[in-house]
Amino acid sequence: MAEPIHNASTEQHAAPHAEPTAWGFDASGWVALAMVAVFALMLWKKVPAAIAAALDRKIAGIRQQLDEAAQLRAEAEALRAEYEAKSNQADAEAATMIERARTEAAGILTQAESDAAALVERRTRMAEDKIAAAERAAVDAVRARAAAAAAAAAEVLIRDRLDAAGDKSLVDATIAGLGR
């Protein structure tokens, strides 16, 4: 069997040694004392109150922002409602204007139809009057020609049938008929 080898490093670990201390405190005692001092200093300088005040200010700022946001939302909803009302009113006015335009267009169409009918009637009457005038003129012209033809025929007949002696007796009879 082999014998265990002992060297100096193995023996050093085996021997207990003492921890360094100062005024009776080892390292963990000094850390604890430093922590107590820091906490005492923080309490003495009122750091927790300052932290609480800072947090309260931050909370108040957030509340103010939330209130402003709520107010802005209410204003936006009021504006939206106002614009919806205006839009509805504009739609109603547009519908009214369209209906009025349709009514006016129907009235204009009716007036145009009646004006056209009156114009046709007036033109028809004027044409009938022109035709009647032309008929009267034609009848007058025919009468005038007939009278002229009758006068010419009478002249020819009188000339052929009556001579100077016949004229004398006719003139005498006419004069006698006048005196009665």
3-state secondary structure (DSSP) of residue 22:
strand
| pLDDT for the residue numbered 16 | 65
108-to-54, 96, 104, 118, 120 alpha-carbon distances in Å: 79, 18, 6, 15, 18
Cα separation, 152 vs 78, in Å, equals 107
Strand-pair partners of 22: 25
Strand-pair partners of 25: 22
| pLDDT for the residue numbered 169 | 77
C-beta separation of 92 from 98 below 8 A: no
Cα separation, 130 vs 122, in Å, equals 12
pLDDT one-digit tens code per residue, 79-105:
999 999 999 999 999 999 999 999 999
pLDDT one-digit tens code per residue, 37-90:
888 887 787 878 888 889 999 999 999 999 999 999 999 999 999 999 999 999
Q: Mean pLDDT of all residues in the chain?
A: 84
- Mean pLDDT throughout 93-119? 93
List, in order, residues 6 or more apart from 42 with CB less than 8 Å away: 48
Which element (helix H / strand E) includes 49?
A: helix 47-161
pLDDT one-digit tens code per residue, 22-37:
777 787 888 888 899 8
Residue type, 31: V
| pLDDT for the residue numbered 43 | 75
| pLDDT for the residue numbered 6 | 52
Cα separation, 154 vs 161, in Å, equals 10
Domain boundaries along the sequence of the chain? 27-167
pLDDT one-digit tens code per residue, 131-179:
999 999 999 888 888 888 888 888 787 777 767 677 777 788 888 888 7
Least Cα distance to 19 among 29, 9, 11 occurs for 29
C-beta separation of 59 from 67 below 8 A: no
